[in-house]
Chain A
Amino acid sequence: QVQLQESGPGLVKPSQTLSLTCTVSGASLQGGGYYWSWIRQPPGMGLEWIGYIYFTGKTYYNPSLESRLTMSVDMSKNEFSLKLRSATAADTAVYYCVKDRSSVEIGHFDIWGRGTLVTVSS
Chain B
Amino acid sequence: IVMTQSPATLSVSPGERATLACRASQSVSSDLAWYQQKPGQAPRLLIYGASTRATGVPARFSGSGSGTEFTLTISSLQSEDFAVYYCQQYNDWPPYTFGQGTKVEIK
30 pairs of residues in contact across A and B, judged by CB atoms under 8 Å: A46-B86, A46-B100, A46-B101, A47-B43, A48-B95, A49-B93, A60-B93, A60-B94, A62-B94, A62-B95, A96-B42, A96-B43, A101-B54, A105-B48, A105-B49, A107-B31, A107-B90, A107-B91, A107-B93, A108-B33, A108-B45, A108-B88, A108-B90, A109-B43, A110-B45, A110-B54, A112-B43, A112-B44, A113-B42, A114-B42
* B65 interface hit (Cβ, 8 Å): no
Q: Describe B's contact surface by its main secondary structure.
A: loop
Number of B residues, CB within 8 Å of A: 24
A-B contact count (CB 8 A): 59
Query: Roughly how many angstroms separate A2 CA and B14 CA in the complex, as a whole number?
Result: 33
Residue positions of B touching A, CB distance < 8 A: 31, 33, 35, 42-45, 48-49, 54-55, 86, 88, 90-91, 93-101
**B31 contacts A46, CB within 8 Å?**
no
The prevalent SS among residues of A at the interface is loop
Chain B residue contacts of A48, Cβ below 8 A? 95, 98
The B-contacting residues of A in range 42-91, CB under 8 angstroms, are 46-49, 51-52, 60-64
Contacts of A107 in B (CB 8 A): 31, 33, 90-91, 93, 96
* Residues of A within 8 A of B (CB-CB), count: 23
A27, CB-defined interface residue at 8 Å: no
